[in-house]
Chains A and B, each alone.
Chain A
């Protein structure tokens, strides 16, 4: 595997993830969950892709770059912490589930679990940061949301991966 190609792909994925992070601000989540910095986690699709086509290490690097960059762009320490813990937890869960993907579940299940883990992670971070357990009140809502969201991102990842197979794209 060419190192240059790998680095380039990581860069592309980071850029894509940052764009997705910015795009999800269009969704008025604040109205339902009034905790600044809590996000839907659209960018998880990139983590999922990176995990399947690259490795956990590269996925982690892309995650760290994405979280740092989007936090710099949106300028908030809380957003950085919430996204980082959410992203890392999602990465860990998806990495584990990908080992049984194809036998036990599909990419959709992996993605739903990843979305749920993302929300648990960011709410945990919020609880620690704001020193109150009260934010867990929003977790049921976020968990329910993670099902349709995870399905959409899982489907997106599956479609993209299918296309790559067709055009015989290999890293």
Chain B
């Protein structure tokens, strides 16, 4: 039988379990600044939820109405086809609790995640 256990089998099993433990431990330790997610809402429905990490690099084009750029741990509405451009001038969102809103298109970009020190901004 080729199923007779050998020492190497135990080494392999131990290695797999160790890898599982290491990954679990790494994930349990919060990242610098905590976890951060960008949520894109259109007409009150969630269309995208993306975790922002140092390596994030993504452009979300909402059929040309709004262009949202996710870069590292930041997010911004880079372009809007509306007249007031309030969402663009909101600038770059960098911490949980910040929101950029395009009222004419009912598009909301918000950052959610661990406590960022500020709960809301009065504008």
* B39 interface hit (Cβ, 8 Å): no
Q: Which of B10-18, B79-87, B114-122 contacts A (4 or more CB under 8 A)?
A: B10-18
One digit per residue, 1 when the CB lies within 8 angstroms of any chain B CB and 0 when it does not, for chain A 141-163 equals 10110110010001100110110
* B61 interface hit (Cβ, 8 Å): no
The 8 closest A-B pairs by CB, nearest first: A105-B8, A158-B3, A109-B9, A143-B20, A104-B8, A140-B24, A109-B12, A140-B20
Residue from A102, A105, A107, A140 within 8 A of B11 (CB atoms): A105
Q: A116-B19, A162-B1, A162-B2 are contacts. A147–B13 as well, Cβ < 8 Å?
A: yes
Instruction: Please give the number of chain B residues whose Cβ is less than 8 angstroms from any Cβ of chain A in the complex.
Output: 25
Residues of A bordering B, CB below 8 Å: 97, 100-102, 104-109, 112-113, 116, 131-134, 136-137, 139-141, 143-144, 146-147, 150, 154-155, 158-159, 161-162
Who on chain A is nearest to B18 by CB? A143
Task: Please measure, in the bound complex, the distance between the C-alpha atom of A150 and the C-alpha atom of B11, giving whole angstroms.
Answer: 14
Task: Please measure, in the bound complex, the distance between the C-alpha atom of A143 and the C-alpha atom of B20, giving whole angstroms.
Answer: 6
Q: How far does the Cβ of B120 sit from chain A's closest Cβ, in whole Å?
A: 26
Task: Please measure, in the bound complex, the distance between the C-alpha atom of A8 and the C-alpha atom of B22, giving whole angstroms.
Answer: 44
Q: Can you show 5 pairs from A to B with CB atoms below 8 A apart? A: A104-B7, A108-B9, A143-B19, A147-B16, A161-B2
* B92 interface hit (Cβ, 8 Å): no
Task: Please measure, in the bound complex, the distance between the C-alpha atom of A135 and the C-alpha atom of B58, giving whole angstroms.
Answer: 18
Beyond the given A104-B6, A116-B19, please list 16 additional residue pairs across the A-B interface where CB-CB is below 8 A.
A105-B7, A105-B12, A106-B2, A108-B3, A109-B11, A132-B50, A134-B51, A136-B23, A137-B27, A139-B23, A140-B24, A143-B23, A146-B16, A155-B3, A158-B1, A161-B2
